[in-house]
Amino acid sequence: MRPLGKAASDDDRPLIERVRKGDQDAVRTLYERYFDRIYNYVYARLGRAEDAEDLAIDTMTRSLTRLDQFQDQGVAFSSWVYKIAHNATIDHYRRHGKVTLVSLEQATLPQSADPSELALEQLSNEDLRVALRALTDEQQQVLILRFFQDLTAPQVAGIMGKSVGAVQALQHRALGSLERALQGRAVN
């Protein structure tokens, strides 16, 4: 797996202070730290490179020009950036509708000897992404943040505004739904 770069963390505050003072190097560092991650998050949600680019740029612009609002939130900068990306994605859905580029029915999924088991090794990354987009909004969000973005359950809880326990339960249900989606069953 190609790493996404430095994991989102709470040590962004010194950089943020520098951004406030007009330090362009700090802006650049934060941009480099988050742009790919946010692009990847949005792409996983939308599946279209053009939209993902626009929304990632929009998210970074909002994040770095509205630091006064961030100060008031009392959360990690990373959580704040992901929330902005999430809201941008929801807005995009509202404006353009939720588009599934490749339906699960059209996707050719490999079969294992045991129908209850998926031949996971044979699934392509795109198969997984397509299946994931068939889940509910929250289920998609928790799986993308936990596994694509490699965030911890407490970090995801901070972003989603839920307890860690609720995130773990949601993650469990989401994995079950994804498994059923990949098996071609009805998605909950």
Binding site for other proteins (CB under 8 A): 1-2, 4, 19, 22, 24, 27-28, 31, 35-36, 39-40, 43-44, 49, 52-53, 56-57, 60-61, 64-65, 114, 116-118, 120-121, 123, 125, 128-129, 143, 146-148, 150, 172, 175-176, 178-179
Quote the least distance from Cβ 1 to other proteins, whole Å: 5
C-beta of 162 vs 173, nearer to other proteins: 173
**CA 55 from chain center: how many Å?**
12
Amino acid at 13: R
Q: What angle do CA 19, 30, 82 make, to 5 degrees?
A: 110
C-beta of 35 vs 93, nearer to other proteins: 35
Quote the least distance from Cβ 60 to other proteins, whole Å: 5
C-beta of 128 vs 159, nearer to other proteins: 128
Exposure string for 103-121, b = 16+ CB within 10 A, e = fewer: ebeebebeeeeeeeebeee
Closest listed residue to residue 24, CA positions, set 56, 51, 64? 64
Contact indicator for 141, 86 with CB cutoff of 8 Å: yes
DSSP 84-107: HHHHHHHHHHHHH----SS-TTTS
Residues contacting residue 117 through CB under 8 Å, at least 6 positions apart: none
C-beta of 2 vs 95, nearer to other proteins: 2
Quote the least distance from Cβ 125 to other proteins, whole Å: 5
Quote the least distance from Cβ 3 to other proteins, whole Å: 8
Quote the least distance from Cβ 68 to other proteins, whole Å: 8
